[in-house]
Structure 1
Amino acid sequence: MTDAGRCPECGARRCAELFHALLALDHSRARPWGPLHGVSVACFLLQHPGRLPGDGGAVARAFLRAYLEGGLPAVEELVGRARRANAHRVPGGPARTVEPAPAPPTGGFAVTVEHVAVDGTFPAAGFPERVRAWAAATLEAWAGHGG
């Protein structure tokens, strides 16, 4: 951490601690947290490029685009298509193409896990709206860097 305890990747304070608290809520499967688990994970990963999988965040960006364009039903459809196309589950299935990884954004994000947490407790009231703002800010930052 640098700059008064701010994360050098996302710009939030206590980001890892807050993310683990959010995961605990997500894994309860209770609304409003549980259904947004995948969106929250995608936001966090894209705001911490050092944790991105080998695809450079391509799947996470597609996930957030689907969510912002069509809500949770669009995300569920994307996940379903990915499962059906998974070559490990369907012998001879199509290979996944991975888009080139753009350079990740630097300098912080307009909305982080700290904003979504509000007071550190991730209050249910307004949670979906805060996650939507988090997703939009994350994609906006990546778009400015070729993502």
Structure 2
Amino acid sequence: MTDPCGECGARACEELFHGLLALDHSRAEPWGPLHGVSVSCFLLQHAGRLPADGGAAARGLLQAYLDGGLPAVQRLIGRARAANSHRVKAGAAPGGAARGTAVPVGREAPRGGFTVTIEQVAQGGTFPAAGFPERVRAWAAATLEVSGPHSA
């Protein structure tokens, strides 16, 4: 059996993440609409993959999801897309964050301690549709519990 991940504590998290991405990119319910939430959870539970903002955008997306569901996430993503539009002057709005950069100086990224990881969401690696949104909500809550809602 695979050893637990040193960052999130799940077994086979990388393989599970690729399986989830395949479902997400199918755009089928219930996986597709939760793509941004799932990716945010995974990134925040893997400090080595945090974008240059230290995960601030991912935490904001998870908080929006927990506070207002998918409509709140869609509004947040819409605003981000508009700010990142080619029509926005260069330098006027933050662009895409570089992946794999360090956590901001003076802040240690959380390691482990998550009560819900991708392993629980996967339920044996198949990510069954039944109960998937509820498992993702629990994953988001557990992720913010450790990483903090606005702690970047």
TM-score (norm 2): 0.85
For residue 13 of structure 1, what is the aligned residue in structure 2? 11
Give me the whole-angstrom Cα distance separating, in 2, the residues matched to 1:37 and 1:27: 8
SS of the equivalent of 1:109 reads: coil
Residue matched to 1:137: 142
Q: Distance in 2 between matches of 1:13 and 1:138?
A: 17
RMSD: 2.4
Q: Partner letter of residue 130 of structure 2?
A: A
Among the aligned pairs, what percent are the same residue?
70
Give the length in aligned residue pairs. 143
CA contact (8 A) 2:56 2:150 kept: no
Show the counterpart of 2:57: 59
Offset, 1:86: 2.2
Q: How does 1:1-147 map to 2 (within 5 A)?
A: 5-86=3-84, 88-91=86-89, 94-96=92-94, 101=104, 102-143=107-148, 146-147=151-152
**Separation in structure 1 between the aligned mates of residue 63 and residue 19 of structure 2, nearest angstrom:** 25
Unmatched 5+ stretches in structure 1: none
User: Structure 1 length normalisation: TM-score?
Assistant: 0.88
State whether residues 67 and 75 of structure 1, in contact with CA within 8 Å, keep that contact through their aligned partners in structure 2.
Answer: yes
Aligned partners of 2:82, 2:91: CA distance in 1, in Å? 8
